[in-house]
Structure 1
Amino acid sequence: MVGSPRRPAAQCRRALPRTAGIRGLRLRRQALFAAGVRGGRGGPGGGAGRPPVAPMRGAFLQDLSWAEAAEWLNRGAVVLMPIGALAKQHGRHLPLSTDYRVAHALARGLAERLPLLVAPIVGFGYYPAFTAYAGSQHLRAETFIALLVDLMTGLIRQGALRLALLNTGVSTEAPIRLALRQVFEETGVLARAVDLHQVGLGARREVVAEPAGGHADEAETSLLMAIAPERVRPELAVSEQSAADRAGVSPFYRTGLLTPVPGAPGQFSASGATGDPRRASAAKGAAILSAMLDELTAGLRAEFPEAFPQAGD
């Protein structure tokens, strides 16, 4: 999974042959560019040791001009709208941007497989369970719903008739359903949505010791180890109570509020994580990520067969 470490530009220049003339300059530029690709420039998961970036069949909306965006929309492209928090606590060992990075990796993987248009990732949402931890950002449910409705109806007015939301959260599920209903009632467009915790379950059961770990757990930490290993601090990972620990003890469920304060209302978690992320590995994350992409690709093909015709159709 991990490529060669990125070398500083000065070292690359010293290692290059000093060939005279235009050909030498071209060779030097090509070698510097290759070093940059091995370093994984571009995207939120960039950094040292990233693998080369695969070509895409799809496109990211923010990388296009308005005229190019119009061409995609006029062709009836499926617009994928990822939802992943830019600032939501994931324990001491993972960055606040964990969900955003997972959303980007999945969107990128789908754009490599399918000719779809990826809308900018919605980086803020309804995440009330984590506000006790510094840096976590949260929108009220009505604000989040209004944000999604405005984004979707804006795209629909510009010609997007096939919309799919990729949701990486859990507390966001109910607001998303209400937003989809409102968009349908206002525009007649039936957008789809998928909740990530329902995808790749088979792979999780196969490779993860605690499939129902909780938050910033073995599975989620493994995903980020595969996507952005330089952002994971495994030495800070600790094991805390998980949903699996409570299974069979009580039929009641909780609102999901986590707190770092002992005795405060909610579920106490000193680190902000639940489950045992110490068992995580990049290999487990790669297996889960691959399974997720397979299932999401199949799901998008099933939902939008006219946009993604298969060979022989």
Structure 2
Amino acid sequence: MTWPEAAERFAAGAVVVIPVGAVAKEHGHHLPLNAEYLIVKELVDGLTVTLPIVAAPVVSVTYAPVFKGYPGSQHIAADTFIAMMTELLANLVAQGARHIAIVNSGDSTEGPLRLVINQFFDQTSVRVGLSNLRLLGRDLDGILEQDQGGHADERMTSMMLAIAPETVRMERTRPDYGRRPTANRAFTQPVRFSSDKDAEDIDFSETGIIGDPTLATAKKGKRLLNEITEQLSEGLRDLFPDIDKV
């Protein structure tokens, strides 16, 4: 859009959707550093086909300390990320946007983003919606065959096979469930993975993944993407009942 077109859409009450996905974060030996970016961009681009939303640029440098020990992974401090997201929201509101939602694809960014939208509401009375992709598409967990997953696994690799198969090196896949402290029902602790098995106070994952990407297929990926897109669409319609009229 041109800026006058953006101004017109904001003034009309269009919903602005902000994708958040790291463009430089390790995803094992088989997926590119920008896998998270590609997935969230695909999903939000898909929403523009069925809903008259305004898709903002992907916020692609994020708070992601868990995998910063792997070469190529980049991240910014939580305070920096919070300040950046708050300023982006303030810019949109100052320009006339009133209906805003964030689609977040990272795990580490969930906590800071909840803080951002809560503080922003206190300061401006503008309610910003937040959706976290790890919570969506779970009705289809039954089609996945891995023992457990979490990062660059069967689920994510399947979606990448559906979106950008040319970027996936399936010949390099192998199961890797990592090594981390035993799950504790009463407490959680910070996690930081490393490929150095001798490093102290670090959770080990040789390949940088958690799961079994060897089981991934494009068919599973398409089903997951369709299900997640549908859930996002329904969620936006619930948040903004007039979304289709703008």
* Partner Cα distance (1:273, 1:292) in 2: 22
Aligned to 1:258: 193
Q: Does the CA contact (< 8 Å) of 1:212 and 1:242 recur in 2?
A: no
Q: Give the counterpart letter for 1:263 in structure 2.
A: D
Q: Does the CA contact (< 8 Å) of 2:146 and 2:215 recur in 1?
A: no
* Partner Cα distance (1:165, 1:211) in 2: 30
Tell me how far 1:100 sits from its aligned partner: 0.4
Q: Give the counterpart letter for 1:101 in structure 2.
A: L
| Structure 1 position 66 matched with structure 2 position 28 | no
Q: Which residue, 60, 63, 72 being the options, matches 1:126?
A: 63
Aligned to 2:119: 182
Q: Give the counterpart letter for 1:285 in structure 2.
A: G
Give the match's secondary structure for 2:238. helix
The within-5 A match list for 1:119-158 is 119-158=56-95
Q: Give the counterpart letter for 1:119 in structure 2.
A: A
Aligned to 1:31: none
Q: Give the counterpart letter for 1:167 in structure 2.
A: N
The within-5 A match list for 1:1-313 is 64-203=1-140, 205-210=141-146, 212-241=148-177, 250-251=184-185, 253-264=188-199, 265-308=201-244
Higher relative contact order (CA 8 A, sep 6+): 2
Q: Give the counterpart letter for 1:131 in structure 2.
A: K
Q: Give the counterpart letter for 2:126 in structure 1.
A: V
Give the match's secondary structure for 1:107. helix
* Partner Cα distance (1:262, 1:121) in 2: 34
The two structures have a TM-score, normalised by structure 1, of 0.75
The two structures have a TM-score, normalised by structure 2, of 0.94
Which whole-Å deviations, capped at 9, do the CAs of 1:279-306 have from their partners, x for residues lacking one?
A: 0010010010010011111111011002
Which whole-Å deviations, capped at 9, do the CAs of 1:4-30 have from their partners, x for residues lacking one?
A: xxxxxxxxxxxxxxxxxxxxxxxxxxx
Where do 5+ consecutive residues of structure 2 fail to align? none
Identity over aligned pairs, percent = 40
* Partner Cα distance (1:208, 1:181) in 2: 35
Tell me how far 1:188 sits from its aligned partner: 1.2
* Partner Cα distance (2:225, 2:147) in 1: 14
Which whole-Å deviations, capped at 9, do the CAs of 1:37-87 have from their partners, x for residues lacking one?
A: xxxxxxxxxxxxxxxxxxxxxxxxxxx111111111111000000000000
Q: Call closer, same or farther: CA 1:226–1:237 in 2, change over 3 Å.
A: same
Where do 5+ consecutive residues of structure 1 fail to align? 1-63
Q: Does the CA contact (< 8 Å) of 1:124 and 1:137 recur in 2?
A: yes
Q: Give the counterpart letter for 1:70 in structure 2.
A: A
Measured on the aligned residues, the alpha-carbon RMSD in Å equals: 1.7
Q: Does the CA contact (< 8 Å) of 2:178 and 2:204 recur in 1?
A: no
